Amino acid sequence: SIIPDRVEAGTFLVAGAITHSELTLSPVVPAHLTAVITKLQEIGAGVVMEAPDCLRIVPGHSLTATDIETLPYPGFPTDMQAQFMALLTLSQGDSTITETVFENRLRHVAELNRMGADIRVKGNIALVRGVPLLSGAPVVASDLRASAALVLAGLAAKGKTTIQGLHHLDRGYEKLETKLLTLGARLQRSPNPMTPIESKLGVSNQKSVSSPTY
């Protein structure tokens, strides 16, 4: 059988944490997400294994800072670095994210700062100081994971966020908007293509989303 995409599963786990929403994901391979789950738990989110191929994210009331260093598998994946940066902008305290796998993987910092984040870059290290809230703003996605991070930030931000460059997103996620809409998000893809994302990802009670396989 084809293995479920651990990065998409991790992205949805962060979506639950950043919007304080409880989500259930299936099918997933929890063993492939160990580093991601560990960091979510350090930040203050709960991750429960409901079944061998099913995870539930139970967000905490307040999230706290942590330090992340990207590493080859089974370390923390570089492909989850941008999504966690979005999450840490809204966590209490100061976090550091050290990118050791690829160069030029911090271009989303300027766009998150445009939304009210407080992030400084020193070489391959991003220093993230948590802020009380993010505000919607027009932003541009520079690559695949940056586009996912901006979508997550837009879901948690106050007001409307417009993201340009969603062709990057389409390279790595299948029907992401459809799944987020199913979970209660308010977003719309415009034909130009610009995507306005308004308000938070609202999930009433508990809902499930299937992670596609490739």
Q: Are 157 and 132 in contact (CB under 8 A)?
A: no
Both structure tokens of 14: 């962060």
The predicted structure's pLDDT at residue 210 = 54
Q: Given pLDDT bands bounded at 50, 70 and 90, which one contains residue 14?
A: very high
How many C-beta atoms surround the C-beta of residue 76 within 10 A? 24
Q: Are 7 and 25 in contact (CB under 8 A)?
A: no
Q: Are 13 and 23 in contact (CB under 8 A)?
A: yes
What single-letter DSSP state applies at residue 40? H
The predicted structure's pLDDT at residue 167 = 84
Both structure tokens of 41: 């738990």
Q: What's the rounded mean pLDDT across residues 73-102?
A: 98
How many C-beta atoms surround the C-beta of residue 95 within 10 A? 23
Q: Tell me which of 20 and 213 has the higher pLDDT.
A: 20
Burial of residue 3, with CB atoms counted within 10 A of its CB: 0-12 exposed, 13-18 middle, 19 or more buried: exposed
Integer Cα distance of 176 and 156 in angstroms:
16
List, for residues 121-177, the tens digit of each pLDDT value.
999 999 999 999 999 999 999 999 999 999 999 999 999 999 988 888 888 998 888
The predicted structure's pLDDT at residue 166 = 84
Q: Look at residue 85 and tell me whether its pLDDT is greater than 60.
A: yes
At 130, give phi and psi (nearest 5°).
-60, 145
List, for residues 38-74, the tens digit of each pLDDT value.
999 999 999 999 999 999 999 888 899 999 999 999 9
The predicted structure's pLDDT at residue 199 = 39
Residues pairing with 4 in the sheet: 213
Residue 55, classed as helix, strand or coil, is: strand
- The superfamily CATH assigns to domain 6-203 is Enolpyruvate transferase domain (3.65.10.10)
List, for residues 161-212, the tens digit of each pLDDT value.
999 888 888 889 988 888 999 998 888 887 764 555 543 333 333 455 555 4
- Strand pairing category for 23-25 and 54-58: antiparallel
Domain segments of the chain as ranges: 6-203
The predicted structure's pLDDT at residue 201 = 36
Integer Cα distance of 148 and 29 in angstroms:
21
